[in-house]
Amino acid sequence: MTTFVQLTITGLANGAVLALAALGFVLIFKATGVINFAQGDFLLVGAFAVWSFVVQVGLHWTVAVAAALVLAVVLGVLIERLVLRPMIGEDPVAVIMVTIGLAAVLQAAVQMIWGVTPRRLPEFIPHGVFRLGDVTIPQDRVFAVLIAAVVLAAFSVFFTRSRHGIAMRAVADDQQAALLQGISVRRIFAMAWALAAVSAVIGGTLLANLTGVSGTITEIGLLVFAVVIVGGLDSIPGAIVGGAIVGLLQQYTAGYIGGGLQQVVPFVVLVLILLVRPYGLFGEVRIERV
Amino acid sequence: MTGQDTDTAASTRAAGDDAGPALAINNIQVIYDEVILVLRGLSLTVPDRQIVALLGSNGAGKSTTMKAITGLLPTEHGEVTEGDIVYRGRDITRWDTADIVRAGISLVMEGRHVFEHLTVHENLMAGGFTRSGADQESVDRVYAYFPQLRERQSQRAGYLSGGEQQMLAIGRALMADPDLLMLDEPSLGLAPLLVEEIFGIIERLNSELHTTVLLVEQNARRALDIADHAYIMENGKVVLAGPAGELAENPDVKEFYLGVAESGGRRSYRDVKHHKRRKRWL
């Protein structure tokens, strides 16, 4: 029983971080219809930026995170402007190839700037443990869950209440009609990439706290695909539930079966869910009126 | 009425340019994909605060004209290669769509194009995007014209009926408080009663909010009823123009667009062929 509770808590905490990592992917797909294969590398860049600002520049961690967020906005807008905008209106497969190329470039850039040695994120996130009977809960997991909850809630409110959030969903639905409401589709696209980069800084930092600052973060990018496909490519609640499912599956498999199966099981479940619900659990079903 | 202060908003915008027409299209030529000539020297004017109908058969270039005015052509590999479009004294020919909307022109596209995955309320909020304070008052004004929409405000637009979607598309355009409202085939695919309702509302918008209206229609009879002025397009240019009442009495229009034969009664297929030949000369 203790094992089960322990695994559940760890799984949910990891799930929250995964959901946050997946958020940027969902944002970009929702607003621009682009499947961004470089999301994992966004996380990597975010983690390294924070590490670099704290360790190499010597900023206080709050300032470092703020600086990394600013850098993310700039990077997001630049990538949209220079890489994605020329591809507007092109074949989706071509756009996907471009994002794969972008992933390679970002990864290479990170290695050129910061090398390939894994780093440790300085311990600004609390790292003690809470004890509940026999169960120990690491404080950093609790912290990660809280941050993830706040950021995800903020994005949900943004999409349903704010003028630009609604405009972003409108653009996702029908670009010509959105233009006719006076919405600048170009600006919305730039905003989506900037927000995705911002969420990647936060997600990447939380991930780096669990795994260390290294290329492993990109591998987790692969898990992000499982998360968003289970949840539905364009759904924020889907990303949260998908994150929890993948996180729990990994922990249960690792705890009860082991043998590295936790790398495989999430993807097997992914295939099963897609067989039953092709749009993912919460994906937008194409509306067809009869 | 709630229209009181929007009324003044529309009139201040119009003030100063009272002399000129709201919109003037001068001899525009539109080419798609650099080879397909769709509009060949089209000219028309929309006088301030009037309803102008643009009629014509499929493929005459009516929707292209709408897209040219709102700057949507570049999204479809089209461009205005000659002529200009002047809105209240300003040349808007190559403006961005967003700026054109901000200047006061709204288009309700053919086929409604509501944001299907957004709720009715969110569709209206998106319509008010250009006005940072798109307030409850504007939303209430839309609901006053379309009470059905209020009942469905939290439903997804994709699940509305065709008539309700058309109302939502018009309501969404109203959120921008347009000075010139353009509607592309608002009656398409709607039951006759709904068509009546939509046309009634267009007339009310014109008389109550003083909105200038450019109406594209295939339903020529109903459009000529409410319009002050009308243009008839064929093959990318205007072939007939005049006050709506006069056009409704024009024998050619009666024959080709209103389906009324001068002599009445049934005609033989040979006559129809003859008419088709004659129509080319219009």
Complex ipTM, two decimals?
Answer: 0.85
Shortest distance, CA B153 to any CA of chain A (angstroms): 14
Q: Answer yes or no: is A80 within a domain.
A: yes
Listed in sequence order, the DSSP H helices in chain B are 4-14, 62-69, 97-103, 120-127, 136-145, 147-151, 162-174, 192-208, 220-226, 244-249, 251-256, 269-279
Average pLDDT of the segment spanning A185-209: 90
For an interface test with A, give the residue of B117, B120, B174, B184 to mutate (most A CBs within 10 A): B117
Number of domains in chain B: 1
Q: Answer yes or no: is B256 within a domain.
A: no
Contact B122 A175 (CB under 8 A): no
Q: Which residues of A touch B98 (CB under 8 A)?
A: 179, 182-184
Q: Answer yes or no: is B257 within a domain.
A: no
Q: Treating both helix axes as pointing N-terminal to C-terminal, what angle do A61-79 and A39-51 enclose, rounded to 10 degrees?
A: 140
User: Does any CB of chain A come closer than 8 Å to the CB of residue B79?
Assistant: no
pLDDT at residue B278, rounded to an integer: 53
Domain hosting B88: range is 4-249
Sign of CA dihedral A194, A23, A215, A38: negative
Q: Answer yes or no: is B274 within a domain.
A: no
pLDDT at residue A264, rounded to an integer: 86
pLDDT at residue A86, rounded to an integer: 87
Which chain A residue is nearest to residue B74, measuring alpha carbons?
A176
pLDDT at residue A2, rounded to an integer: 84
Average pLDDT of the segment spanning A93-122: 90
The percent of residues above 90 in pLDDT, for chain A, comes to 34
Determine the Cα–Cα distance for residues B148 and A229; give it in Å rounded to an integer.
Answer: 37
Q: Answer yes or no: is B282 within a domain.
A: no
Q: Answer yes or no: is A242 within a domain.
A: no
Determine the Cα–Cα distance for residues A141 and A130; give it in Å rounded to an integer.
Answer: 10
Shortest distance, CA A123 to any CA of chain B (angstroms): 43
User: Does any CB of chain B come closer than 8 Å to the CB of residue A184?
Assistant: yes
Query: Phi/psi at B215 (nearest 5 deg)?
Result: -115, 120
- In this complex, which of A163, A177, A179 lies closest to B98 when CB atoms are compared? A179
Do residues A34 and A193 make contact, with C-beta atoms less than 8 angstroms apart? no
Q: Answer yes or no: is A259 within a domain.
A: no
Give the SS3 label for residue B237. Answer: strand
Nearest by Cα to B138 from B102, B172, B100:
B172
DSSP one-letter string for B52-119: EEEEE-TTSSHHHHHHHHTT-GGGGTEEEEEEEEEETTEE-TT--HHHHHHHTEEEE-TT----TTSB
User: Does any CB of chain A come closer than 8 Å to the CB of residue B105?
Assistant: no
Q: Answer yes or no: is B267 within a domain.
A: no
DSSP B46: E
DSSP A284: P
Contacts of B109 (CB under 8 A, 6+ apart): A176, A177, A180, B66, B169, B184
Q: Which residues of B touch A287 (CB under 8 A)?
A: 116-117, 156, 158-159
Q: Answer yes or no: is B138 within a domain.
A: yes
Q: Which residues of B touch A178 (CB under 8 A)?
A: 115, 126
Amino acid, res. B251 = P
Helix (H) or strand (E) holding A53, with range, is: none
Contacts of B104 (CB under 8 A, 6+ apart): B13, B87, B88, B177, B178, B179, B180
Query: Phi/psi at A59 (nearest 5 deg)?
Result: -80, 155
Contact B126 A183 (CB under 8 A): yes
Low-confidence ranges of chain B (pLDDT < 70): 1-19, 133-134, 260-282
Q: Answer yes or no: is A67 within a domain.
A: yes
pLDDT at residue B15, rounded to an integer: 44
- What residues pair up with B56 in beta bridges, in sequence order? B233
Determine the Cα–Cα distance for residues A102 and A97; give it in Å rounded to an integer.
Answer: 9
Confidence of residue A70 (pLDDT cuts 50, 70, 90): very high
Confidence of residue A90 (pLDDT cuts 50, 70, 90): confident
Of residues A116 and A77, more confidence is placed in A77
pLDDT at residue B267, rounded to an integer: 54
Q: Which residues of A touch B182 (CB under 8 A)?
A: none
Give the SS3 label for residue B193. Answer: helix
Q: Answer yes or no: is A278 within a domain.
A: no
Q: Would you say how long chain A is, in residues?
A: 290
- In this complex, which of B96, B113, B130 lies closest to A177 when CB atoms are compared? B113
Domain hosting A133: range is 17-223
- In this complex, which of B72, B75, B115 lies closest to A170 when CB atoms are compared? B115
Average pLDDT of the segment spanning A64-78: 94
- Range A59-73 burial, b when 16+ CB lie within 10 A, else e: bebeebbebbbebbb
Number of domains in chain A: 1
Q: Answer yes or no: is B278 within a domain.
A: no
Query: Phi/psi at A11 (nearest 5 deg)?
Result: -60, -45
Determine the Cα–Cα distance for residues A54 and A120; give it in Å rounded to an integer.
Answer: 11
Q: Which residues of B touch A180 (CB under 8 A)?
A: 70, 72, 97, 101, 106-107, 109, 113, 173
Contact A180 B106 (CB under 8 A): yes
Question: What CATH number did the domain enclosing B217 receive?
Answer: 3.40.50.300
Q: Would you say how long chain B is, in residues?
A: 282
pLDDT at residue B139, rounded to an integer: 93
Q: Answer yes or no: is B276 within a domain.
A: no
User: Does any CB of chain A come closer than 8 Å to the CB of residue B96?
Assistant: yes
Q: Answer yes or no: is A68 within a domain.
A: yes
pLDDT in tens, B2-16: 434 444 444 444 444
Q: Which residues of B touch A289 (CB under 8 A)?
A: 158-159
Amino acid, res. B135 = D
